[in-house]
């Protein structure tokens, strides 16, 4: 059967968590086009996904030794002359709050926090961001993007890639390295390693992020919203200067600096629930009183109105959504059983994100019905979706996959 995005034809769910083998790995966003074939989650011969295997590896890591490595790294870079010695990128979610706070108050570093603001802040997200800076006590550079260009690129990424979050991810990955070069700050700490969410496990062997994610060689190879940088200039009335904000530094610029991009999650055992409690205690972080649509959680990734819609597009393209993400993470961290997770998925997965939907459609200037029907249907892969009595149904879900819940 025909599959879109190079997804594997056979749909398989992990026997330990709820992940599907359709789950794509992180993309180099500025190379992403509608033709891009996804690399997807690796499953081993026991039917267990890489994210679960990584969770096991995490349990066997000598965290005392890793913390020593962190202390060495901090000792190497710490500056006591009044300048910054590291950057913590983030928008004030629980993970960036935790990272900045421990680096400053436990390890004696002098972080500059750097924010690429969400496309559309939620009230809760904005309050948490302010509290991070004001209660946590940090200097912060927030980069306010050119609104017209941001809007155009976000719309293009939705229309061409069904990927509402692309402009956010671009800035989240590219801004900190550029600020580091500008201010000559040698070290950048991201939080969790991408492999926690299923990038190839081999990438976790290193504390450093591969430079291909945040540098480029040739402008002609780059795409934003699935449109080439040349075409954006020729046909969309966006100048090169206006596009540069969304692009990473060049490979050359980066190589000539000594900036290291690292993950704090490599050195410290990262548990989302723990960083949440930590953020509540140290910087007045607040969960939302209501659950996020499409899932049961109240404190995960709630800064951006477009996030809920982003997860919905994920559900359309890959056949599973935010509830699977949230529950799988909690199963791996032993806060939920697989059966509890399956019940949550049955209840919440795929719920349409009504709360902010019209706000987002207004922002990008898109007809809501066009998004809901015509555009969504274009991105449904036939191997995942079937129309039954006029209604779209998933051919495979974790609740009807016939997988035995065996403990491997």
**Given 19, 107, 318, 348, the residue binding Zn ion (CB under 5 A):** 19
- In the complex with Zn ion, the residue whose CB is nearer, 101 or 338, is 338
- In the complex with Zn ion, the residue whose CB is nearer, 280 or 403, is 403
Compose the 26-55 pattern: x for residues touching Zn ion by CB under 5 A, - for all others: -----------------------x--x---
- In the complex with Zn ion, the residue whose CB is nearer, 14 or 309, is 14
Least CB distance from residue 258 to Zn ion, whole Å? 37
Least CB distance from residue 17 to Zn ion, whole Å? 3
- In the complex with Zn ion, the residue whose CB is nearer, 49 or 133, is 49
Please give the structure tokens belonging to residue 288. 């939302």
Least CB distance from residue 328 to Zn ion, whole Å? 6
**Given 11, 17, 109, 394, the residue binding Zn ion (CB under 5 A):** 17
Pairwise CA distance, residues 56 & 288, whole Å = 31
In this structure, is the dihedral angle defined by the CA atoms of residues 284, 307, 395 and 41, taken in order, positive or negative?
A: negative
Least CB distance from residue 198 to Zn ion, whole Å? 8
With CA atoms as reference, report the closest residue to 265 among 61, 404, 53: 61
The four Cα atoms 33, 26, 313, 363 give a dihedral, to 10 degrees, of -70
Non-local (6+) Cβ contacts of 279 within 8 A are 94, 97, 98, 101, 128, 285
In this structure, is the dihedral angle defined by the CA atoms of residues 357, 358, 359 and 361, taken in order, positive or negative?
A: positive
- In the complex with Zn ion, the residue whose CB is nearer, 52 or 86, is 52
- Pick the piece of the chain touching Zn ion (CB under 5 A) from 9-17, 136-144, 265-273, 283-291: 9-17
Q: Is 271 in the site for Zn ion (CB under 5 A)?
A: no
Q: Is 16 in the site for Zn ion (CB under 5 A)?
A: yes
With CA atoms as reference, report the closest residue to 259 among 209, 194, 202, 217: 209
Q: Nearest 5 degrees, angle CA 243-CA 244-CA 246?
A: 75
Least CB distance from residue 39 to Zn ion, whole Å? 17
- In the complex with Zn ion, the residue whose CB is nearer, 207 or 324, is 324
Least CB distance from residue 58 to Zn ion, whole Å? 13
Q: Can you give 135-149 as a three-state secondary structure string?
A: CCCCEEEECCCCHHH
Least CB distance from residue 20 to Zn ion, whole Å? 10
Angle between helices 94-101 and 123-134 (to 10 degrees): 0
- In the complex with Zn ion, the residue whose CB is nearer, 54 or 116, is 54
Please check whether residue 407 is in contact with residue 337, taking contact to mean a CB–CB distance below 8 angstroms.
no
Q: Can you give 152-206 as a three-state secondary structure string?
A: HHHHHHHHHHCCCCHHHHHHHHHHHHHHHHHHCCCEEEECCCHHHHCCCHHHHHC
140 forms bridges with which residues in the sheet?
Answer: 113
Compose the 370-399 pattern: x for residues touching Zn ion by CB under 5 A, - for all others: ------------------------------
Least CB distance from residue 48 to Zn ion, whole Å? 6
- Pick the piece of the chain touching Zn ion (CB under 5 A) from 17-25, 102-110, 125-133, 293-301: 17-25
386 forms bridges with which residues in the sheet?
Answer: 393
Q: Which residues, numbered 48-87, are part of the site for Zn ion (CB under 5 A)?
A: 49, 52
- In the complex with Zn ion, the residue whose CB is nearer, 197 or 276, is 197
227: part of which helix (H) or strand (E)? Answer: strand 227-228
Least CB distance from residue 229 to Zn ion, whole Å? 37
Least CB distance from residue 37 to Zn ion, whole Å? 23
252: part of which helix (H) or strand (E)? Answer: helix 251-255
Please check whether residue 100 is in contact with residue 284, taking contact to mean a CB–CB distance below 8 angstroms.
no
393: part of which helix (H) or strand (E)? Answer: strand 391-394
Number of residues interacting with Zn ion: please give it, by CB under 5 A: 6
- In the complex with Zn ion, the residue whose CB is nearer, 17 or 188, is 17
- In the complex with Zn ion, the residue whose CB is nearer, 25 or 36, is 25
97: part of which helix (H) or strand (E)? Answer: helix 94-101
- In the complex with Zn ion, the residue whose CB is nearer, 16 or 173, is 16
Pairwise CA distance, residues 20 & 23, whole Å = 6
**Given 14, 73, 309, 323, the residue binding Zn ion (CB under 5 A):** 14
Least CB distance from residue 334 to Zn ion, whole Å? 13
Residues forming the site for Zn ion (CB under 5 A): 14, 16-17, 19, 49, 52
């Amino acid at each position: 059967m025909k599959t879109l995005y190079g997804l594997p034809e056979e749909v398989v769910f992990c026997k330990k968590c709820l992940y599907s083998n359709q789950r794509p790995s992180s993309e180099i966003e500025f190379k992403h086009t509608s033709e891009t074939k996804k690399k997807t989650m690796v499953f081993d011969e026991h039917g267990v996904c890489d994210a679960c295997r990584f969770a096991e590896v995490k349990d066997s890591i000598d965290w005392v030794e890793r913390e020593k490595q962190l202390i060495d790294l901090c000792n190497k870079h710490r500056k006591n002359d009044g300048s910054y010695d590291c950057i913590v990128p983030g928008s004030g979610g629980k993970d960036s709050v935790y990272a900045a706070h421990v680096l400053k108050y436990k390890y004696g570093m002098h972080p500059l926090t750097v924010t690429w603001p969400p496309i559309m802040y939620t009230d809760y997200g904005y309050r948490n961001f302010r509290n991070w800076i004001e209660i946590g006590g940090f200097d912060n550079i927030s980069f306010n993007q050119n609104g017209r260009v941001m809007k155009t690129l976000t719309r293009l990424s939705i229309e061409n890639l069904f990927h509402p979050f692309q402009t956010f991810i671009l800035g989240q990955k590219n801004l900190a390295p550029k600020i580091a070069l500008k201010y000559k700050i040698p070290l950048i700490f991201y939080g969790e390693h991408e492999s926690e969410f299923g990038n190839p496990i081999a990438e976790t062997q290193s504390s450093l992020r591969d430079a291909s994610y945040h540098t480029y060689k040739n402008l002609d190879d780059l795409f934003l919203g699935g449109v080439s940088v040349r075409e954006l200039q020729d046909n969309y009335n966006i100048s090169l200067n206006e596009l540069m904000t969304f692009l990473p530094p060049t490979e050359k610029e980066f190589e000539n600096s000594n900036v290291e991009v690292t993950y704090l999650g490599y050195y410290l055992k990262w548990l989302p629930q723990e960083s949440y409690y930590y953020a509540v205690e140290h910087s007045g972080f607040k969960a939302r009183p209501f659950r996020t649509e499409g899932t049961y959680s109240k404190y995960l990734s709630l800064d951006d109105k477009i996030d809920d819609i982003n997860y919905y597009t994920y559900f359309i393209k890959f056949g599973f959504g935010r509830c699977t993400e949230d529950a799988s993470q909690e199963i791996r961290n032993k806060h939920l059983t697989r059966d509890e997770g399956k019940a949550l998925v049955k209840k919440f997965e795929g719920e349409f994100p009504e709360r902010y939907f019209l706000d987002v459609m207004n922002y990008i200037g898109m007809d809501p019905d066009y998004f809901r029907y015509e555009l969504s249907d274009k991105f449904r892969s036939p191997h995942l979706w079937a129309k039954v009595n006029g209604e779209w149904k998933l051919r495979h879900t974790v609740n009807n996959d016939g997988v035995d819940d065996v403990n491997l």
